[in-house]
């Protein structure tokens, strides 16, 4: 058998991946919102620029990013890139003015969320799944739903207030934290460097 035919035969015998790769990029996010398909129950990693951030769960099997705020709506250099493979996705948002920017990210309600933001006011609502969230500076508010749904909860604040009424915890000052274990199936990890953390 000639070498080219032997190589072709070998390639045909290799397992074919069923995980399609996709990438969506937007350079002017304020005027061209990003919308991409993504399945419910997937794992999402979000790395977002500073600002007023809203992460909202919806019934749609999509990830969408919209920009607002007094200066954000006029910006033409805010960029977003979403990459996905199967049930794993990664979103990055960068650029734009330094302040007065609102970023709303809608994701499937049932999702595992990994979120990193340097500074701002971050709100996470209507997400049913694992949550791993870190905010270096600012205020973080997370709707936890039913506290019985969690197998493990770890929350901490380096400087500021920690209020987690669904779990019976309220602390303020320096280096405040708590951990709890339960019979649920989800995990929650939330940390704020300087600012307030509210689990509600």
The Cβ of residue 10 has, within 10 Å, a number of other Cβ atoms equal to 9
Report pLDDT digits (tens) over 24-79. Answer: 999 999 999 999 999 999 999 999 999 999 999 999 999 999 999 988 888 889 99
Domain range enclosing 51: 20-129
User: Looking at residue 6, what is its pLDDT?
Assistant: 52
Pair (172, 146) in one structural domain: yes
Whether this prediction's pTM lies above 0.75 is answered by yes
Pair (51, 117) in one structural domain: yes
**Number of separate domains in the chain:** 2
Q: Reduced to 3 states, what is the DSSP secondary structure of residue 38?
A: coil
Q: Of 113, 157, 114, which Cα lies nearest the Cα of 136?
A: 157
Pair (154, 125) in one structural domain: no
Pair (33, 114) in one structural domain: yes
Pair (81, 143) in one structural domain: no
Q: Judge whether 191 lies within some domain.
A: yes
Q: Judge whether 13 lies within some domain.
A: no
Q: Reduced to 3 states, what is the DSSP secondary structure of residue 97?
A: coil
Q: Judge whether 93 lies within some domain.
A: yes
Instruction: Find the DSSP H helices in the chain.
Output: 3-13
15's CB contacts (< 8 A; 6+ apart) are: none
In contact, 32 and 77? CB cutoff 8 Å = no
Give the distance, in angstroms, between the CA of residue 142 and the centroid of all CA atoms in the same chain: 12
The rounded percent of the chain whose pLDDT value lies above 90 is 82
Report pLDDT digits (tens) over 113-167. Answer: 999 999 999 999 999 999 999 999 999 999 999 999 999 999 999 999 999 999 9
| pLDDT surpassing 60 at residue 5 | no
Q: Specify the residue for token string 């000639």.
A: 2
The number of CA neighbours under 13 Å toward the Cβ of 30 is 18
| DSSP track, 22-78 | EEEEES-TTTS-EEEE--TT-EEEEEE-SEEEEEEEESSSEEEEEEESTTGGG-S--
Q: Judge whether 163 lies within some domain.
A: yes
Pair (51, 96) in one structural domain: yes
Q: Of 121, 176, 127, 167, which Cα lies nearest the Cα of 147?
A: 167
Pair (152, 122) in one structural domain: no
**How far apart are alpha carbons 144 and 69 in whole angstroms?**
26
| pLDDT surpassing 60 at residue 12 | no
| pLDDT surpassing 70 at residue 9 | no
**How far apart are alpha carbons 173 and 161 in whole angstroms?**
6
The domain boundary residue, chosen from 129, 153, 182: 129
């Amino acid at each position: 058998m000639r070498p080219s035919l032997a190589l072709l035969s070998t390639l045909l015998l290799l397992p074919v991946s069923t995980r399609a790769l996709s990438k969506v990029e937007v350079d002017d996010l304020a005027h061209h919102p990003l919308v991409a398909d993504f399945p419910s129950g997937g794992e999402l990693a979000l790395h977002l620029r500073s600002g007023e951030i809203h992460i909202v769960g919806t019934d749609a099997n999509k990830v969408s990013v919209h920009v607002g705020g007094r200066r954000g709506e006029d910006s033409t250099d805010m960029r977003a890139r979403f990459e996905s493979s199967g049930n794993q996705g990664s979103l990055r948002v960068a650029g734009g003015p330094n302040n007065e920017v609102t970023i709303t990210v809608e994701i499937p309600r049932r999702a595992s969320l990994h979120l990193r933001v340097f500074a701002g006011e971050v709100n996470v609502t209507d997400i049913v799944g694992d949550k791993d969230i870190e905010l270096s500076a600012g205020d973080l508010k997370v709707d936890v739903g039913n506290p019985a749904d969690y197998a493990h909860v770890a929350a901490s604040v380096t400087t500021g207030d920690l209020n987690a009424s669904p779990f019976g915890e309220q602390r303020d000052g320096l280096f405040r934290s708590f951990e709890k274990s339960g019979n649920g199936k989800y995990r929650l990890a939330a940390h704020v460097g300087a600012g307030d953390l509210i689990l509600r």
